[in-house]
Every structure is written in C-alpha cells, then in structure tokens.
Structure 1
Amino acid sequence: MPTDKITTNNKQNGNYGEDSIEVLEGLEPVRVRPGMYIGSTDIRGLHHTVKEIIDNSVDEAIAGYANLIIVTIQKDNSVIVSDNGRGIPVGIKKAYGVSALELVMTKLHAGGKFGGSGYKVSGGLHGVGASVVNALSEECLVEVRQNGKLYHQEYKKGVKQYDLKTDEIKNSKIDSKYISSIDSGTTTYYKPDHTVFETLEFDYKTIRHQIRIFAYLTSGLKFTFIDERNDTKESFYFEGGLRSLISSQNRNRDVVHPTIFYAHKEAENIDVEIAFQYTDAYVANEMSFANNIRTQEGGTHLTGLRSALTKSLNDYGKKHNLLKNEERFSGEDTREGLNVGVSV
C-alpha cells in the first residue's frame, strides 16, 4: 500500500543541535521581539509606552496615595511622567541583592501587582510595563522621592548605568516644573530608542485622549499634560467619573432625559461604576473598561449590564401595564440611542 510523503525543496542549510538553542537573559527578549510586549513598533507601540508608565502612576491614585500626575512630551519626543504617590520602593530585595526599584525597571514580571499586597486594583502589563519601556528606551532615568531624600538610577537600553544612588532632593536632574511633588512620588524620564521604533513622533491628540480617559475613569485625580513641541499645557480633572464622560459626549446631542443614570458601588470585592443616558441616536455607544483599560471587545461586565438593563425595562413595563400581552423589549430595543460607560 503506497504511503504519502511530505516533501519540501525549501530546507534551510545548517544543523539543528544544542548550539542552536539560545537563552535571552534579562530584557534581551524585549529588544529582540518588542512587538510581543507592546503590540507593534509603529506609532501604536510608541503610544503604548506612555500608557504603561501612566498606568503605574494611576495605580497609586486608585490606591489612594496620589492625586496629581504630570505628563510631559519634550521637544525631542522624550517623555516625563511624574506622580505624587508613595514612590517605587527603594529598599534592597534580599533574594536578589539589588533595590526594589532596580528589579522593577530591569526584570520582567517584577512589581507590586501580583499578590494583592501592593495594589488591590491595577492596570497595565502587570509587572512588565516599566521594564519593557526601559528596555526599548535609548535612555531612561527614574527618580523617587521618599522621606526627604532623592533616590535615582539611570539606564541605557535597559541596562543600568550605576547602582541606586541617594542624594538631596535639590540635586534632581529633572526640572521641578515637570515634577508633581518635591516631597514624594516617582518621576520617570525616557527617550524611545530610534533603532526600535519606526517613528518617534508622538501624536498629540492620541496622548491627550489617553490622558483624558484616565481622568474620567479616576475621579478626583488631576492630570497636567505639557507638550513642549507645540507649547501647550492642559489640565484634566473630573470629579464625576464616568458621569462626566457621558455628559461630555452628549453635550451636542439631543438627550431623551436630562438626568444621567449613575451607580458606583462595590460588590463581592469588585468596584463597579456605571453611567448612561439615552439620546435620539439610532445606534448605541458602549464603552467598557476593566482595571482602567478599555475592553474593545466588551466582556462579561458589558454583557451583564445589557442583560440587566433589558430585564429592568421589561419588568418596569409589565408592572405599569406599558406592555401589552406578551410584548417584550429586545436587547436591541433597549440599546437604541444608549450612551453608556461601565468600569470594573
């Protein structure tokens, strides 16, 4: 009985043995395959680096330790992100013999977002973000202000240039106008590596939109956005959270009801915030977030909201005799003209 054989004429020359196996140490994997960590090396990946550093500062705000974040894009497209939180820990991690700051900046999967002791809620790449940005930067400097002292460390392409240093706060290498607080917090400066990214030109509107959404999702947190390339400075602060977001989006729309329905509570250790308002539009505008990250494909939180809304409107209609016989609203009916935001 004949057997089929898989043949190819495109075999590569060379032997495949133990010498073919490579081990990439430290942050080498990031520089070899950056797209695996930030999605791409085009402008989307470039913008992602900013988001990752901002995420860390927002985590401090969500935990209740920060209320101001300053984001600066300098004329050479270098970035500075500063918060007035607790500051990345600088003590020596005994198991590794280096400071916690150095671990966060130079080791993948190092951070305070895993066990729950550091952060109950957090966004970003969970222990990967800061080190990835560092690895993909031509140069990077992190300054931490704690207990009246300044701690700092510099890196080039992810490699530290010296051990963590302690100095007087007045000796900061970063101008005070870019710093959220001289007393406490973390300030990160980095310049994206031109050998990694296809472009180094940040899009002002994209970064501005990212920051604005962060401000909506974290009520009580103030952002200052400075873009020295076009000499602009803006502040974003929304006490109303998602309610402010819906109000802003419906400003030039005809709304069906003046009051925005809003709820914010914790259930089973999950913080849930919902805001919605109907307009005369024919389609729905649904925005869902998890840990301050936009969930473009929805998720169980959005599915749950849809089901609850449809059920509630049907129950109300039946109770008040607004629906005849077996009439019921479908999901499409209840979402027509709906502008909603849900965050967990």
Structure 2
Amino acid sequence: MPSPAAKKTATSKSASEYTAHHLQVLEGLEAVRKRPGMYIGSTDSRGLMHCLWEIIDNAVDEALGGHCDRVDVVLFADGSVEVRDNGRGVPVDIEPRTGLTGVELVYTRLHAGGKFGGGSYTASGGLHGVGASVVNALSSRLDVEVDRGGKTYAMSFRRGEPGSFSDVAGAAGRKDPEHPFTPYVKTSALEVVGKTGRGVTGTRVRYWADRQIFLADAGFDLEGLLARARQTSFLVPGLTIVVRDERGAEPTEEVFVHDGGISEFCEFLATDAAVTDVWRLQGSGTFTETVPVLDAQGHMTSTAVERECGVDIAVRWGTGYDTTVRSFTNIIATPKGGTHLAGFEQALLKTLRSQIAAKGRTLKAGSDKPEKDDALAGLTAVVTVRLAEPQFEGQTKEVLGTAAVRQIVAKVVETELTSLLTSTKRPYKQQAAAVLEKVVAEMKSRISARLHKETQRRKTALESSTLPAKLADCRSSDPAHTELFIVEGDSALGTAKLARSSDHQALLPIRGKILNVQKASVTDMLGNAECAAIIQVIGAGSGRTFDLESARYGKVIIMTDADVDGAHIRTLLLTLFFRYMRPLVEAGRVYAAVPPLHRVEVMNPGSKANEVIYTYSEGEMRRLMASLAKRGRKTKPLQRYKGLGEMDADQLAETTMDPRHRTLRKVTLRDIESAATVFELLMGGDVGPRKDFIIDSADALDKERIDA
C-alpha cells in the first residue's frame, strides 16, 4: 500500500496540474454542437423532429401576427426538408450593434431574434432566440431565401458558418451539403438572386440535418408531422398548412385548413357520444412581472411591465370515462401541462363541487364530494393561453412556468363555467343537468368500487361468497390458468357444465341481450343486473377503477350461438368490455369462442367407426359435401346446430371448450380511436350514420348467414 506521504504527493501533483488552461470556453454555436441535448432534448428522431418544429413555429408565429396565411413543408428524397411561408420575411437590413444582416444574425447568433419584447410579436412560440440558430448549428447545410422589397435574397451556411456552396453546374435545383464550401472570411454576403412581384414577401428555409450529430437511424416522422400540422391548423383558424412528402416512389401531399378553431379541434378529439355541446370559456387578465429590458445604451435594466394573458378554452363532456385534455401556450403544445392546466383543473373541480352542493338534494349526491377524476371523466378539452414572453421550463417548452397564469385561467374558467351551469336557457340548462348527473354518477361509482374492493377478491371454498349464485366457478385460483366462459342462456349453461373442465373453467350465464352501454349512463350500467354480475365476477372493477392485476380469470371467453342473435349479444358484451374494462381487451385476455355450424358424419364400411367432421360456415360445408360426393362417400343426415344447447356435452367440449381442439378468436385493439368510432357507429344513439352504413354495406352481406 502507498504510504501517507506518497498519497499526499500524488494529490498535490494532481491539484497543481489542474490549471486555467484546462478550462474550455465554447463560443457561439460550438456550445450547441457540443451539447445538442440541452437545446433539442436528444439526437434521435425526437430531436430531429424538434429542429423541424423550431423552423415551422417561426413561420406559424408570422401567421399568429396576421402576416401569413400559408405554410408549406416539403420532405425531399435526399433527406433534407424545406419550410416555406408567405410572411413578412426575415429582415435583410443591417443590425447596427453587430453590423450583421438580419438573416445572418437570426441564424448564427444565440439569443437573437424579434421576440424579446421589441414589438414585432405580441405573442409567439419562439422566446429564447435560439431556435433557428440551433437548427443551423446542427445542420450540415442550411439555405435561406427571403422575399422582401421586390428582391429575393439568399444565404447559405455549413454547420452554422456562413459561406457559399459550389453547386454542380447544369444540375438545376440540385443542392448537396457535400459540395465544395467556401466560408466568408472578412465580411458576409447576403446575395440578391432574383426579383419578386410587388407585395410578395416570405421566407424559405431548407436544411440537411448533420449526421455527425444525429443518430444513423434518426428520421422524420411523417405521422407525427401530419398530426402536428393538423393540430396547428385548428389552433390558427384560416391558416393553410401543406405537407408534401417526396421520399417515396410517388409524392404524397396533405392540406390542412380549419376555420372552426379550437371548437372544431375539440370535436375532432372526442370519440364518444356527446353529453354537451362544445362550450367556449373565454376571457383575459393582466399581471405584472419584473423583467430585464435592453435600453438604448445596450444595458439590461430590470423593469416592471404589465402583461396581458388571453384565455380561450373549449370543453365538451361525453358519455365515456376517458379524458382528453390538450394544452397550448401561443400554439406551442405543452404536453406536460403547467400553470395554465393547473388553473383549469382547479377551477373546474371547484365550480362543479359548488354547483353539486347547491343542487345536492336534486342530484342525491349526499355529503360526498367529487374528486378531480370524477370531474374529468368523459371530458375533452383544449386549453389555450396567449401572452408575451411566457416562461417555459427548458428550450423544449413542455411545461409552462409563468406563475400568474394559474390564477388568471382559474378566474376565467370559474366565471364562465358557472355562467353556463346556471344558465336558464333551455339547451344549456339541459346540458348542465346532464353534466352534473354524470359527475355525481362517477363519484358514486368510485365510492362503490372502493367499498366493494374486498368483496371483489376471489373467495375460497371456506369463505362466504358474495359472487352471483348463477356463477359456476372453477376450483383453481390462479389467473394464469383460469378461464371464464360467458354463455348465452340456461340451456347452453347445462350443456357447458358437463363439457367444461371444472378445475380451471368457470361459467356465467346471461339472459339474452344485455344493456347497450354505449347509449346508457354509468348509473344505468351499474344498475343493470347482467352488467353488474359480469363486473363483479371478473372482480377488477370498472372504468377508471379497473385494476387488471385484480382480474380473477386469465381469459374471458364469450361463447354465444353461431347466429345473428349470438353475434348481436357478442357485440353488446364487447361494447361493455371496451367501455368499462378496456385494459382487459388491450392485454389480449378477451376471446370469442368459435362453435361449429354443422356436424357431418361420414359412414365407413364394415365395423370401422364413422368419421365425424365439423364445419364452421355454409361454404365450408358445401365444399366438404361436394368433395365427399365426388369420392363416393355416404353421410348420415346433416346436423345443423341452431344453438349451443343443441350440442351434446362431448361435442361442445371437443369443438369449443377443450383447449386441445377448440378455436378461439382473440379480440385485439390496434387503434383505440378507430375502435371507439366503430363502436359509436354501430351501438351509439345517432341512428343516421348507422342507417347509411347498413345501406352502403348491404351488397357485401352474405345472406346465407341470416337465420330466416
């Protein structure tokens, strides 16, 4: 071991070697290239898309100010992307303090731009003056073209450095970051490359992301880009956004323009049937904050300034229990919320509690108070605020941090929502009553689930059971091996009891067609005997309280007759699972049994046992009979099963219940929004779209499947 003296000598040597020349000073855009994650979050596809958002948001900020009505985004086959707008164009004159043109200043200097309170933007998404310059620093090439004053100006950059590329002569429009590059040494040149018509202005930015910075598999997410473009077109009514993808064999183009604003956005996001129309909660408030302001001498002086915060919120309650809330600040999405969302939720709960307390006797609410989840159940909302220089937590702008916004939003929501809930106008009065009833029903459902949580657990044979008497339970208590068959009627139950393996297969009969929960309220659903029995037997709760880990069975198998009524019952049951036990479907634990339609007994000569073949459709049966006739095989009279009750126990076990021989259809859920739309179409209260669907699909119906 080294002696204490040796240790002391080594430490002293290490300290003496750490001097000022070990310190690094990163100038300008070097810092961005050295630590890109600080500015764009990551260097994978998310960071690549964040760079694109920065350029698009600059164009949209022009639209917010009323200077632009069209933005084009083009994804080129060579990996570059271009954003075009018809706004005012980046300034091309000389900025006096730096001696640089506006274009070079914006794209090469951090914390430089027109959004620091200079009066050119009252509310914008760009705040820190680093967006365009960061994209430039992380691009192997960036070209800017500006239309202003009847001329087209152009400038190119390589990894943030201004200069000129020697693009291949004769290759019209061909640009490449690998072409020879000559940096400007003494002075930069903003070249005039063309003329424009009178009044034509705009900016075009095309860049190639630097593959020295971004991961090899990082790429532009077209679906994410389309979703963002659609979202922005809702938030800025009248703005046309065109997304063109030229990377495939055939170019594709999507155009987004919406004049309905966030009301239309709210309707677009909602997937369930409406309880209320879209309500708009609008207002504004002022607050004072102290900010450093650049004076005429170039010094920063702390100054108290008065800010105005505009609030515009669209809300809509539906029959479901899922919550969809999108929040935005100056059209920048804040997926992790912030002070504006906190103020909205605070005021929403406070107002609903106040109204329910005032109408407690009518609503039969008792002394219990609704919680936030009760108020948010079935709510679709778009929360937007606009203010100058909001404070975000980081350059990625995912959380709004301006503290004063919370109280302003809360006051607007409380005032406007109270006015709507207490309105004497007939449409609002009816919808307000429906909202309050829904919130109270959600509250009662939550309380009921909590009180009955213990009784929903599996009971052993030695314990008193509160499960429905009609349940024929199994002996095993291991969800990994147990199966619950929901069967149609008592006749099928009798056969299924003899056919099942009582060790791990449980049976629950239902009486015909259960309640259509797509149309019914939560209260009606919980009050329905069949629905309540299914929820109780599965034992994992319902709606927001559903706990997949508490489910008593590993598989839930819907076993109905192979006819139209059976298909209807299966659809009603799937509607119940989708609306109130969705995690069970998402986990792939809901199945549909596939019972046969026909039993064909083929006669064998002599003492050899006859061969039994089951068929599952009319077409399969006819092909089989034709094949047997061709081979000269004789059969006994065909047996056609009208229902599960007509099958013998051994036949039901062999074809439908025995895991060694049966066929099950797993119910999957690839796209929740599409599934919700289909359920609303087929089972919802709006008859018109369903009628159109039936008429349009009539030609595709196999009429032989109808039992007439």
Q: Does 1:289 align with 2:328?
A: yes
Could you report, residue by residue, the CA deviation over 1:288-337 in whole angstroms, capped at 9, with x for unpaired residues?
Answer: 11222222222221122122222333343444553456454332221111
Per the alignment, residue 272 of structure 1 pairs with 311
User: Does the CA contact (< 8 Å) of 1:79 and 1:189 recur in 2?
Assistant: yes
Aligned 1:253-264 pairs, distance under 5 A = 253-257=272-276, 259-264=277-282
Compared with structure 1, are the counterparts of its residues 281 and 12 closer, same or farther at alpha carbon in structure 2 (3 Å cutoff)? farther
RCO comparison, higher one (Cα < 8 Å, 6+): 1
Compared with structure 1, are the counterparts of its residues 299 and 44 closer, same or farther at alpha carbon in structure 2 (3 Å cutoff)? same
Per the alignment, residue 165 of structure 1 pairs with 191
In the alignment, the residues of structure 2 paired with residue 328 and residue 13 of structure 1 have an alpha-carbon distance, to the nearest angstrom, of 64
User: 1:220 corresponds to which letter in structure 2?
Assistant: G
User: 1:143 corresponds to which letter in structure 2?
Assistant: E
1:168 counterpart SS class: strand
Compared with structure 1, are the counterparts of its residues 322 and 62 closer, same or farther at alpha carbon in structure 2 (3 Å cutoff)? farther
Partner of residue 201 from structure 1, selected from 207, 219, 230: 219
Compared with structure 1, are the counterparts of its residues 99 and 332 closer, same or farther at alpha carbon in structure 2 (3 Å cutoff)? same
In the alignment, the residues of structure 1 paired with residue 354 and residue 149 of structure 2 have an alpha-carbon distance, to the nearest angstrom, of 57
Could you report, residue by residue, the CA deviation over 1:227-254 in whole angstroms, capped at 9, with x for unpaired residues?
Answer: 111311111111122212111122x422
Aligned 1:261-340 pairs, distance under 5 A = 261-268=279-286, 269-320=308-359, 322-323=362-363, 326-340=367-381
Per the alignment, residue 173 of structure 1 pairs with none
User: Does the CA contact (< 8 Å) of 2:142 and 2:205 recur in 1?
Assistant: yes
Partner of residue 247 from structure 1, selected from 267, 279, 299: 267
In the alignment, the residues of structure 2 paired with residue 120 and residue 292 of structure 1 have an alpha-carbon distance, to the nearest angstrom, of 13
Q: CA deviation at 1:222?
A: 1.1
Q: CA deviation at 1:42?
A: 0.6
In the alignment, the residues of structure 1 paired with residue 354 and residue 337 of structure 2 have an alpha-carbon distance, to the nearest angstrom, of 25
Q: Does 1:343 align with 2:384?
A: yes
User: Does the CA contact (< 8 Å) of 1:220 and 1:237 recur in 2?
Assistant: yes
Question: Which structure: greater helix fraction?
Answer: 2
Could you report, residue by residue, the CA deviation over 1:75-114 in whole angstroms, capped at 9, with x for unpaired residues?
Answer: 1120100111111111101111111111100000000111
Per the alignment, residue 178 of structure 1 pairs with none
| Uncovered stretches (5+) of structure 1, i.e. residues with no partner | 1-5, 171-180
User: 1:164 corresponds to which letter in structure 2?
Assistant: L
Identity of aligned residues (%): 40
Per the alignment, residue 629 of structure 2 pairs with none
In the alignment, the residues of structure 2 paired with residue 266 and residue 65 of structure 1 have an alpha-carbon distance, to the nearest angstrom, of 23
RMSD of the TM alignment (CA)?
Answer: 2.6
Q: CA deviation at 1:73?
A: 0.6
In the alignment, the residues of structure 2 paired with residue 22 and residue 227 of structure 1 have an alpha-carbon distance, to the nearest angstrom, of 42
In the alignment, the residues of structure 2 paired with residue 37 and residue 125 of structure 1 have an alpha-carbon distance, to the nearest angstrom, of 13
Q: Does 1:20 align with 2:22?
A: yes
User: 1:246 corresponds to which letter in structure 2?
Assistant: C
Q: Does 1:37 align with 2:39?
A: yes
Q: CA deviation at 1:338?
A: 0.8
In the alignment, the residues of structure 1 paired with residue 200 and residue 218 of structure 2 have an alpha-carbon distance, to the nearest angstrom, of 32
Q: CA deviation at 1:116?
A: 4.3
Per the alignment, residue 138 of structure 1 pairs with 140
User: Does the CA contact (< 8 Å) of 1:145 and 1:182 recur in 2?
Assistant: no
Could you report, residue by residue, the CA deviation over 1:150-190 in whole angstroms, capped at 9, with x for unpaired residues?
Answer: 111110111000521123236xxxxxxxxxx9910111110
1:288 counterpart SS class: strand
In the alignment, the residues of structure 2 paired with residue 79 and residue 112 of structure 1 have an alpha-carbon distance, to the nearest angstrom, of 24
Structure label with greater radius of gyration: 2
User: Does the CA contact (< 8 Å) of 2:115 and 2:127 recur in 1?
Assistant: no
Q: CA deviation at 1:279?
A: 1.8
User: 2:244 corresponds to which letter in structure 1?
Assistant: I
Compared with structure 1, are the counterparts of its residues 264 and 65 closer, same or farther at alpha carbon in structure 2 (3 Å cutoff)? farther
Aligned 1:42-121 pairs, distance under 5 A = 42-121=44-123
User: Does the CA contact (< 8 Å) of 1:286 and 1:341 recur in 2?
Assistant: yes
Per the alignment, residue 242 of structure 2 pairs with 224
Compared with structure 1, are the counterparts of its residues 186 and 148 closer, same or farther at alpha carbon in structure 2 (3 Å cutoff)? same
TM (norm. structure 1) is 0.88
2:281 counterpart SS class: strand
User: 1:20 corresponds to which letter in structure 2?
Assistant: H
Compared with structure 1, are the counterparts of its residues 41 and 13 closer, same or farther at alpha carbon in structure 2 (3 Å cutoff)? farther
In the alignment, the residues of structure 2 paired with residue 301 and residue 206 of structure 1 have an alpha-carbon distance, to the nearest angstrom, of 24
2:275 counterpart SS class: coil
TM (norm. structure 2) is 0.44
Q: CA deviation at 1:141?
A: 0.7
